[in-house]
Structure 1
Amino acid sequence: MYKVSEFSALTGLSKETLRYYAQVGLLEPVFVDPANQYRYYDDGSYLLALLLAKLRGFGLTIHEMKTVMNDKSFDNLEKLLLKKKKNIESEIEELRSKVADIDEFIESGKERDK
């Protein structure tokens, strides 16, 4: 069993993030000592924490991560990730378009100065 500080160092998730994940029901400690309220995590928690960190890194919202965690079979994970990928690709195209618009605007300003 790992104390929250050890678990935080092990997973790379901050103590605040771990508290928040417990509060919203994403990753609850496996044991809370009734005497001092220390929270403890185990190896199973470690695997879930790594999954949550990866999902967060992919840009999933807390709601989306809860959906994944509530689906114990992870059947819908691929669909969710493919949808996220498509959204990211759309955002990239929008940003590329904005960059092209900025370049065009800058060039038009330079042409007027000539």
Structure 2
Amino acid sequence: MYKISEFAEITGLSKETLRYYAEIKLLEPAIIDPSNNYRYYDDGSYFLAILLVKLRRFGLTVQEMIAVMNDESFANLETLLKEKKTKIQMQMDDLLIKVEEIDEFLASGQEEKEI
């Protein structure tokens, strides 16, 4: 069992995030000691926490993460990740277009200076 501070350190999630995730029932501690309200996490919690870290890194919203965690079979996870990947690729394409437009704009300004 891990105290919240230990668990935060090994997962990379802050104590505040862990408390928030517990509050919204996304990742609850394995045990809460009723005498002092200390939160304890176990190895099963660790694997769920690492999954949440990855999902957050992939850009999933808290609501999307809740949907994933509520689907205990993770049947829709692959579809959701593929959709997220497509969306990220579209954003990258849009950003590349903007970079090209900026380059063209800067180049046109250089041409005017040369005239």
Shorter-chain TM band: over 0.9
Asked whether 1:52 is paired with 2:52, we answer yes
1:26 partner letter: L
State the shift of 1:20 in Å.
1.0
Comparing 70-79 and 29-38, the one that deviates more? 29-38
TM-score, reference length from structure 1: 0.98
1:94 partner letter: D
1:23 partner letter: E
In structure 1, what is the Cα distance between the partners aligned to 2:71 and 2:34? Answer: 30
2:60 partner letter: L
Any gaps of 5 or more consecutive residues in structure 1? none
In structure 2, what is the Cα distance between the partners aligned to 1:20 and 1:90? Answer: 31
Asked whether 1:5 is paired with 2:1, we answer no
> What is the Cα-based RMSD across aligned positions, in Å?
0.6
Any gaps of 5 or more consecutive residues in structure 2? none
1:100 maps to 100
State the shift of 1:112 in Å.
0.5
1:87 partner letter: K
2:43 maps to 43
Runs of 4+ in 1 over 4 A off after TM superposition: none
Correspondences of 1:73-112 after superposition (within 5 Å): 73-112=73-112
Residues 76-101 of structure 1: per-residue CA shift (max 9 Å, x gap):
00000000000000000000000000
1:26 maps to 26
Secondary structure at the aligned position of 2:40 is classed as: strand
